Chain A
Amino acid sequence: MGDFIQALVAKYNYWIYITLMMIGLYAMIAKNNLIKKIVGMNIFQTAIILFYVSIGVKKGGTLPIIEHGHGAHSHVVHAVDYINPLPHVLMLTAIVVSVATLGVALALGIRIYNRYHTLEEDEILSQIREK
């Protein structure tokens, strides 16, 4: 039990992201409202972003910008002093992707709403069945 709690505490960042992600996933599967599903999707994507960003952390590292800027060629840069920039770069991309997906999803949602005047999936399906 002690080990378990230790593991839980030492890797709490992963637990948090997984919990968040599962909330998103659950919303996407279980929710009936199309917009709530989109919200779930965003939570899901954000959780992954959190996960990636947490990979980049280094204890004792600072943000990945070299302080002295130009003229610092003589200055020796140690990798341990700066956090890992790569996950941040990747997540910039992921953020953009999630924004783009959100845009398209909303556009689709609007089209559905204009046609059926509701965003509840079961109501839409029953309207389709009636036809």
Chain B
Amino acid sequence: MSQHYPTLLVTVPLLAAFIISAAGWINKRLCFPFAVATLTVAAYSCVGLLFRVLHEGVVHYRLGGWPPPWGIAYYVDQLNGLVLSVISVSALINLIASKRSIEREFPEKIGPFYTLYVLFVTGMLGITVTGDAFNLYVLLEIGSLTGYALIAMGDKDRAPLASLNYLYMGTIGACFYLLGVGYLYIVTGSLNMVDIASILPGLYQSKAVMTAFIICMVGMWIKMAFFPLHGWLPNAYTFAPSASSSLIAPLMTKVMIYVMIRFILTVFTPKFAFSTLAVSDSVVWLAVIAIVMGAIFALAQRDLKKMLTYIIVAEVGYMVGGAWLGNRAGMTGAILHIVNDALMTLCAFLVVGNIVYKVKGYSFEDLKGLFSKMPFTMGAFVIGALSIIGVPPTCGFFSKWYLISGAIQASHYGFVVALLFSSLVNVVLFFRIIEIGYYEPFGDHHGHDHHPEPMAEAPLSMLVPLFIVAAGLVLVGLYTGDIVNHIIQFVIPKGLL
């Protein structure tokens, strides 16, 4: 079966989504075990595929048995394999962690919720695994449509509008991408990424190719919420239900960054992206602005979840900037940060989920005294915070290491300063939260006779996944060397120094 991993990881969740949907009408209790089983299979296939790629090199798969470029083909290299594993594992962890909150928030609609959940994961996995530019668009729309619905189920007052705005922006983004693919098709006649890449070198001077590249990039930037196209993200992620925000926030932006890197590295070559088209410097400066503005906006927030969303905006700036530095270290940092940021965001949003589950709010007011109330959740939060700040040995430090190295090598000191600035702002942001959770409510006098609030920790089914993610942050940090040496370095073309 192992030769079918590339398709299993997409089609198993797909088929299961229909079964879950049906099960929702017959017996709701079946939905959750089905979803878990499916995502376990998907995660197993993804990790299995990654190991196969590591051993054998690029894995090809022809869907329908048609050879590319006529049929749709999958090319799985180390980059896909890595991102796939991250997606499937984090979706699985979140699924288990959010069971209780889903059951509490949508007791009647468990079936459709899990259906859309699994379909969203299918979309994300499909985007990552596919080697066909148009197929990517279709899966992108699956991911987006399900995402809109999952988000709109949150806060009754605000979520639908936030989701609708996301839908407008998301549709523009996806349409730009589709248009870019159309421009590529009109000059190359092909939709297969590898095939396009083989035709393009003769056309690098073509205005159509340049425009195609630009609109594709703009479309992706909208989807990944790259400043100044980030407007939809904060509200959408803030007002989403906990289960959705901890699913979508780690995955959507990261997958789009993967797509961007895939287009830079595979479809258009780095030579075209960084040399022929002299925009990389401006993009990095845009990333600098994204990071700085993300950090500043995060400072202005008065609730935890919205603060985290602006941190995502800043983190997107990290990755876009890193990828566009145009050197090996920067690209390594960006790819590594896809993995790390997915885990970090997952950790942070799972914590928010736990807090919402117990305290029913996430504004700073609600966080008072949380360290004594929910010590384990907050312990995991601290690890996540450290990783986002970039303190070793958590993984956030190492991707920042590569990003800063890349910036130094490219002599782009603005980016270095922006990264350090955002780290410092993150220190302020997170220690503000920690302070609120740690000090307030104040004791009567000088801390003596201080009676901490009784412990009211989230259920074990939410804590264990959270701990796994928190431990993952440290483990991924410790194994950074292996990830870079055995996976990422094969992804980046030799020409890129």
Contacts and interface: CB of A to CB of B under 8 A. Distances in A.
In the complex they form, whether A and B have CB atoms below 8 Å apart is answered with yes
Chain A, interface size category, equals: 20 to 34
Contacts of A111: 152, 160
Nearest to A54: B186
Given A28-B172, A41-B168, A101-B145, A48 B182 contact: yes
Contacts of A108: 148, 152, 160-161, 163-164, 167
A104 B149 contact: yes
B179 interface: yes
12 contacts: A41-B171, A48-B179, A48-B182, A52-B182, A86-B191, A100-B141, A100-B145, A101-B171, A104-B148, A108-B148, A108-B167, A112-B160
A39 to B, nearest CB: 12
Interface string A32-63: 00100100010011001001100100000000
A97 B164 contact: no
Max chain A CB contacts within 10 Å: which of B156, B175, B191?
Answer: B175
Interface in A57-97: 86-87, 90, 93-94, 97
Q: Which 10 A-B pairs have the closest CB atoms?
A: A111-B160, A108-B164, A97-B141, A112-B160, A108-B160, A55-B186, A41-B171, A112-B161, A105-B167, A104-B148
B158 interface: yes
Interface of B: 134, 138, 141, 145, 148-149, 152, 156-158, 160-161, 163-164, 167-168, 171-172, 175, 178-179, 182, 185-186, 191
A22 interface: no
Q: Is the interface of A mostly helix, strand, loop or mixed?
A: helix
B182 A51 contact: yes
A46 to B, nearest CB: 10
A7 interface: no
Given A101-B145, A115-B157, A109 B164 contact: yes
A131 B157 CA distance: 10
B196 to A, nearest CB: 14
A108 B171 CA distance: 14
A44 B148 contact: no
A128 interface: yes
Given A28-B172, A93-B138, A100-B141, A105 B164 contact: yes
Nearest to B174: A97
Contacts of B148: 104, 108
Given A104-B145, A108-B152, A115-B156, A48 B175 contact: yes
Given A48-B175, A55-B182, 14 more contacts: A25-B172, A41-B168, A44-B172, A44-B175, A51-B182, A52-B182, A93-B134, A94-B178, A105-B167, A108-B164, A111-B152, A112-B161, A115-B160, A124-B161
B171 A128 contact: no
Contacts of A28: 168, 172
Nearest to B141: A97
Contacts of A55: 182, 185-186
A37 B168 contact: yes
B134 A90 contact: yes
Contacts of A100: 141, 145
Contacts of A51: 179, 182
Contact of B171 (A45, A86, A124): A45
Contacts of B179: 48, 51
Contacts of B134: 90, 93
Nearest to A121: B161
A41 to B, nearest CB: 5
Nearest to A84: B189
Most chain A CB within a 10 A radius of its CB, from B148, B158, B168: B168
